[in-house]
Amino acid sequence: MWIILVRKTSRSSDRMEKLVLFDIDGTLIPSLSMGVTTRVLKKYFGVEKHSKIYSEGKTHRQILFERLKEIGISDPERDPQFEEAMAYYGTAFREATEGISIAQIPNVELFIKGLLAEGIFIGILTGSTEDTAKLKLEKAGLQKYFKFGAYGDKIMDRNKLVPIALEEAKKSTGIDFQKENVFVVGDTVRDIWCATAGGVRSIAVSTGKETFEELKKEKPDYLFKDFSDVKAIITKIRAG
Ligand SMILES: [Mg+2]
């Protein structure tokens, strides 16, 4: 008797697995204004001018792009210095935070441990460059929990980061996560937009610079003031 094996696109067990993708600034650590882009601009473009551009939730690539547009560079990504300047973010961050330790957002480590205890996978989804992200997490004592992530080195638009995070999650875990089981946790409206654009769920927390009311207007799937009730958030993730 012949048996024909049909390869399914994902294992049935993959359909059950949950994944939580964490923003960094304002979510895992306080939203820092360390003047990193200012350092990058000074070194590569000789610019010291301060900017009023709102940067919360944007990728480092978008932030640098907008700052260069602001000083009159019409096509920043084609500037010969642009990629080198992007690659310098990690070093600039290291220099800016020399001797400074970085705090964790209260209770967030407890939340991470709670997720892992439930067998829920976690990853990073941030606008920071990869080097910068890892330094931030290391300084806050959180890098040990994260094995993969999507970062803001190559991607201008944060809304495009979910598919990259899912690809990285698959490479790292072998699991083809289903979008309804994936959650983006973040402190800005851009985290909510990014989750919506990526077809996954959003968990907004007002632990950064944007208020509970500002986040509420963007209709996240779940909204919390902070991580004070870790059990309640995990219950939503398990049920959602
Ligand atoms: Mg943030």
Confidence of residue 14 (pLDDT cuts 50, 70, 90): confident
Q: Which of 52-61, 201-210, 228-237 has the lowest mean pLDDT?
A: 52-61
- Rounded distance from Cα 175 to ligand 1 centre (Å): 26
Q: Do residues 20 and 136 share a domain?
A: yes
Confidence of residue 11 (pLDDT cuts 50, 70, 90): low
Instruction: Encode pLDDT of 40-78 as tens digits.
Output: 999 999 988 788 899 999 999 999 999 999 999 999 999
Give the mean pLDDT of the chain.
Answer: 93
CATH of the domain at 136: 3.40.50.1000
Of 77, 96, 115, at which residue does a domain stop?
Answer: 96
Amino acid 234: pLDDT = 97
| Number of folded domains that form the chain | 2
Section 144-149 average pLDDT: 98
- Rounded distance from Cα 54 to ligand 1 centre (Å): 12
Q: Do residues 148 and 57 share a domain?
A: no
- What is the residue range of 91's domain? 36-96
CATH of the domain at 49: 1.10.150
Q: Examine residue 80 and state whether it is found in any structural domain, yes or no.
A: yes
- Rounded distance from Cα 13 to ligand 1 centre (Å): 32
Residues in the chain: 240
Of 79, 96, 113, at which residue does a domain stop?
Answer: 96
What span, in angstroms and rounded, lies between the C-alpha atoms of 100 and 31?
14
Assign residue 78 a region (left: φ > 0; alpha: ψ between -120 and 50; beta: otherwise): alpha
Q: Do residues 92 and 128 share a domain?
A: no
- Rounded distance from Cα 148 to ligand 1 centre (Å): 18
Instruction: Encode pLDDT of 81-130 as tens digits.
Output: 999 999 999 999 999 999 998 999 999 999 999 999 999 999 999 999 99
- Rounded distance from Cα 11 to ligand 1 centre (Å): 33
Q: Examine residue 3 and state whether it is found in any structural domain, yes or no.
A: no
The pTM assigned to this predicted structure is 0.93
Q: Examine residue 119 and state whether it is found in any structural domain, yes or no.
A: yes
Over 90: is that where the pLDDT of 213 sits? yes
Q: Do residues 25 and 43 share a domain?
A: no
Instruction: Encode pLDDT of 179-197 as tens digits.
Output: 999 999 999 999 999 999 9
Closest-CA residue to 123 (of 193, 219, 197, 21): 21
Instruction: Encode pLDDT of 20-29 as tens digits.
Output: 999 999 999 9
- Rounded distance from Cα 187 to ligand 1 centre (Å): 5
Of 80, 96, 112, at which residue does a domain stop?
Answer: 96
Instruction: State the DSSP string of the chain.
Output: --------SS-GGGGT--EEEE--BTTTB------HHHHHHHHHH----------TT--HHHHHHHHHHHTT-SSGGGSTTHHHHHHTHHHHHHHHTTT---PPPTTHHHHHHHHHHTT-EEEEE-SS-HHHHHHHHHHTT-GGG---EE-SSS-S-GGGHHHHHHHHHHHHH-----GGGEEEEESSHHHHHHHHHHTSEEEEE--SSS-HHHHHHT--SEEESSSS-HHHHHHHHHH-
- Rounded distance from Cα 57 to ligand 1 centre (Å): 5
Amino acid 49: pLDDT = 79
Instruction: Encode pLDDT of 98-109 as tens digits.
Output: 999 899 999 999
Q: pLDDT exceeding 90 applies to what percent of the chain?
A: 86
